[in-house]
A and B are shown apart, each in its own frame.
Chain A
Amino acid sequence: MPKPTITSANPLTHRLLVAAAVGIVGLLIVVPLASVFAEAFAEGPAAWWRALAHDPDTRHAIWLSLTVAPIAVAINTVFGIAAAWLVSRFRFPGRSLLITLCDVPFSVSPVVAGLALVLIFGRQGLLGPTLATLGWKVIFSWPGLVLATTFVTLPLVVRELIPVMEAIGPEEELAAVSLGASGWQVFTRVTLPNIRWALLHGIVLANARAMGEFGAVYVVSGHIAGATDTMPLRVEKLFQEYRTPASMAVASVLAGLALVTLVAKFLIERRLEAEARELEAARSLPDTIVGSGTPPDAGPRTSTQGSTA
């Protein structure tokens, strides 16, 4: 048995396995992605630009997506930080139930979520008459879009923060409190610097999902062109109107955005891994050095699980 390790397979098996993996990812992911751009630019960049910029309904859809997604992401950033702080720094009855509830939006069909919002805020809904007398419109209007988008992206920021905050532990924050820092000071000077990359990771993922959400938004929007159509809804409407090139043009903007998201995600994950290694190294130092707590530059640890979100 002169092989380097006994468990390594022979090169031919390796090559076949790699070929199969590349084939699966290529056929399912790379070919479709490439064809979005090929189809979008089939008639040249000028036609692509015309389809995007010269159609007022498409322009409105782009603007609406760029408004709704950041609002939903901002709400979920606040929620994510609060929930992660609560879950990782305190023990209380109902804690694990709360963690489960944070994950519920992942298991609920977006269409069902949209329907639930219609049942609450729609004209025949629970709050419908009250809202009508106040003159507020939620369904078939942008607040409904924000609610639906917030629902589907709810777990993304929390899920990134909880494992990181659990891994760092509360020692630095306790030290800050014992030195007389206020709650806000602890958060801005200790917690936030420690979780910044994980937070950014969650925000990037939530934003991608928010920009691309279709099912929940479709149900609550009423798809009124030039009023409640977001970019993904515009893609569908143009496709239904047999304007596939224009539909592809909008789709290519969304696909481009997805690629930017992935590059950002990749760079952030490299940072997170580096900080996790630093944390590990700091932990393995003798007690005499780390005795008073981890060094200030020790950052969070990442989890590969988190990226499955």
Chain B
Amino acid sequence: MPAHNPIFRSPRRRSVLPGFGISAAITSLMITALVIVPLAVLALRAASLGPTEFLAAAWTPRARAAYAVSLGASLTAAIISSVSGLLVAWVLVRIDFPGRRLLDALVDVPLALPTAVAGLVYSTLYVERGWLGRYLVPLGIHGAYSWLGIVLVLVFVSLPFAIRVVQPVLESLDRDSEEAARMLGASRVQTFLQVIFPAIFPAVLTGFALALARALGEYGSVVFISGNMPFKTEIAPVLIVSRLEEFAYAEATAIAVVLLGMSVSLLVIVNWLQQRVARNSQ
């Protein structure tokens, strides 16, 4: 943009607009103090352990089990969120029915509701005497203090991300190509799979990655419902906290760095996907 737009001059050639200095100062101070320094300290602390010590701290059987639970439950939750999110987004965009705006507003509840409240409520809903547990527990479905419980709360916290990324892309979708496909004799399923889905796929993937990132880091809701049993229902963030409470800083840091590595790789993927989505929608 700077090439053909005279307004966006490089600050070195002096922009007409004021405030470059002060806004740059505030922004870089905050980013440095709150993002760069803490993450750098975390990385340095982990690096100071040395490779053998790091592995001994981050790769214990209990830690490996925690990564497995974290990844497994988060992937499952992100898949459920993406599929049901696509369905809800489709209904919100394509079908007009009474209560549509209310449904649309309700989708945002998990963004505003504190995760601790979600965890507390979910654990009371799915226990034996709970509203839903009284029907499910006799069937052998334990939604509280179990792996399933972790997945349930992770779906709750990640669902809005899956919906809100897909929704605007569905809204901006060109209906002409769909109609053309139908006119040319494609069935509804064919039209969806071959015309609509390829167009919204990058958005679905972005929503999936965002949901996964959110689920991987989630702590507040999971501690309430998982029971936190080592090797079974203990997720990585819970293990970090329990190491920290034992003042085992080195071990907590090593596990945190592994978790951070997973999140950062996801951030890279999300950014790449968003660029693709932006390019596709142009």
Interface residues of chain A, those whose CB is within 8 Å of chain B, are: 5-7, 9, 14, 17-18, 20-22, 24-25, 28-33, 35-36, 39, 75, 78-79, 81-83, 85-86, 89-92, 98, 100-113, 115-120, 124, 126, 147, 150-151, 154, 169-171, 173-174, 177-178, 182-183, 186-187, 205, 208, 211-215, 218-219, 231-233, 235-236, 239, 244, 247-248, 251, 254-255, 258-259, 261-262, 265-266, 303-305, 307-309
What are 21 of the A-B contact pairs (CB < 8 Å)? A28-B155, A83-B30, A103-B267, A107-B213, A111-B237, A112-B260, A115-B256, A116-B42, A118-B244, A124-B249, A154-B30, A173-B17, A174-B16, A177-B18, A212-B114, A232-B116, A232-B220, A235-B116, A255-B113, A308-B160, A309-B111
A304 CB contacts on chain B under 8 angstroms: 164, 167-168, 171
State whether A25 and B107 are in contact (beta carbons under 8 Å apart), knowing that A101-B31, A119-B249 are contacts in the complex: yes
Q: Is the CB of A258 within 8 A of B109?
A: yes
CA distance A126 to B37 in the complex (A): 11
Q: Is the CB of B241 within 8 A of A111?
A: yes
Total A-B pairs, Cβ < 8 A: 306
Query: For the complex, would chain B's binding face be called helix, strand, loop or mixed by DSSP majority?
Result: helix
Instruction: Scan residues 146-198 of chain B and give those whose CB is less than 8 A from a CB of chain A.
Output: 155-156, 159-161, 164-165, 167-168, 171, 175, 178-179, 182-183, 188, 191
* Residue of chain A at shortest CB distance from B103: A25
State whether A22 and B103 are in contact (beta carbons under 8 Å apart), knowing that A35-B121, A219-B241 are contacts in the complex: yes
Residues of B in contact, count (CB < 8 Å): 104
Q: Is the CB of A183 within 8 A of B19?
A: yes
Instruction: Scan residues 27-41 of chain B and give those whose CB is less than 8 A from a CB of chain A.
Output: 27, 30-31, 34-39, 41
State whether A174 and B26 are in contact (beta carbons under 8 Å apart), knowing that A235-B116, A239-B120, A248-B120 are contacts in the complex: no
B121 CB contacts on chain A under 8 angstroms: 32-33, 35-36, 39, 251
CA distance A141 to B106 in the complex (A): 35
Q: Is the CB of A109 within 8 A of B216?
A: yes
State whether A30 and B38 are in contact (beta carbons under 8 Å apart), knowing that A109-B217, A232-B116 are contacts in the complex: no
The 8 closest A-B pairs by CB, nearest first: A212-B114, A109-B217, A214-B220, A116-B38, A215-B219, A183-B18, A308-B164, A82-B26
**Which single member of B41, B113, B161, B182 contacts A254 (CB below 8 Å)?**
B113
A254 CB contacts on chain B under 8 angstroms: 113-114, 116-117
| Chain A binder among B52-60, B61-69, B124-132 | B124-132
Q: Is B240 an interface residue (CB 8 A)?
A: yes
Apart from the given pairs A79-B26, A90-B15, 18 other A-B contacts in the complex at a CB distance below 8 Å? A36-B117, A83-B26, A83-B27, A85-B19, A89-B20, A92-B10, A110-B219, A115-B240, A115-B253, A116-B42, A118-B244, A119-B249, A170-B7, A177-B16, A183-B18, A186-B18, A258-B114, A304-B171
B168 CB contacts on chain A under 8 angstroms: 303-305
Q: Is the CB of B111 within 8 A of A119?
A: no
CA distance A103 to B263 in the complex (A): 12
Q: Is B110 an interface residue (CB 8 A)?
A: yes
